[in-house]
Structure 1
Amino acid sequence: MKPLFVLLISFLSTLLVTKKIHQHFKVDFSARIALSIMLCFTAIGHFVFTEGMVMMLPEILPIKNQIIYLTGVFEIGAAFAIHLPKYRKQTAWVLILFFIALLPANISAAMLNVDYQNATYTGTGVTYLWFRIPLQILFILWTYFSGIKWIKI
């Protein structure tokens, strides 16, 4: 829920600032800024809630802590790279693949009742997926339309 609020509040704030500065809305730019802020916000969780995020990964995976740290670093890097015109589309495609790859971990975590912030198995369970799956789809579409194929409005 928090990443959604960060995304939307950042988007609306940036939209208003760009309107004030440029006398028109810069929707695609504002969407990318919001995506970057959201990615940096979620990346912080990889370093603050590492133990709980490790619980989301399959047992078969080795070096779980390093995977969590690496994905946090990746999110920060992508947050910057999405603003480089030369790398924007490639970054957006990689982010889309990343968001798709995260879905099984989120499904597994919900099925195990993982509460990653407290590193316990007392989370909300599978009902969380009714929110998380549409949210993941929103992140994918947001990335696609702000980084690959902008529709002028």
Structure 2
Amino acid sequence: MPEAILPIVLIISMVTFKLLRKKYEYALSARIAMAVMLVAAGIAHFVYAQGMTLMIPKFIPVRKEIVYITGILEITGAIVLLIPGWQKTAGWLLILFFILILPANIHAAVEHINMKTADFTGNGPWYLWYRIPLQLFFIGWIYFSCIRLPDRLK
């Protein structure tokens, strides 16, 4: 699960900054963790393209192309998150991205889509009890590490 990357990379980054710079870099560590997760998720768009194509309703044309484009957008977003001066712009665009992909996740849950096996053996609607709060968590993570940095985390 790509979301498991977040806490692991966050801790590694914070410890690394503490050792090298003698202080914790909370917001930067959070952006690095999100960037690594986005790269992993972006790569998954190419590895599991067939299953992710099923996540998009059939009435939408060029579904496979959309999967590839969104994978590229995730990887691009990861890079831009780490460019000084671009964090707020990247943050707002990623928040918009997380909101826009939620319908695909809802469709996948309703249709029992298994992204990895590209069939209809997925977990179904109960998955939304996990996925929707996870999307909100990602949005919060982006917001507080890119847009509205609490003073104690700068």
TM-score, with normalisation over the residues of structure 1? Answer: 0.96
Aligned equivalent of 2:86: 87
Matched, 1:131 2:145: no
The aligned residue for residue 6 of structure 1 is 5
Unaligned runs of 5+ in 1: none
1:63 paired to 2:62: yes
After superposition, where does 1:4-153 map in structure 2 within 5 Å? 4-153=3-152
SS in 2 for 1:77: helix
Distance 1:3 1:126 in 2: 20
- Post-superposition CA distance 1:82-110 (Å, at most 9, x none): 12223221111010000001111101100
The percent of aligned pairs where both chains have the same amino acid is 41
Q: List structure 1 runs of 4+ shifted beyond 6 angstroms.
A: none
Q: Hey, what's the Cα distance between the residues in 2 that align with 1:53 and 1:43?
A: 11
For this pair of structures, how many residues does the alignment match?
Answer: 152
Whole-angstrom distance in 2 between the partners of 1:20 and 1:53: 40
Report the CA distance between 1:3 and its aligned residue. 1.7
RMSD of aligned Cα (Å): 0.8
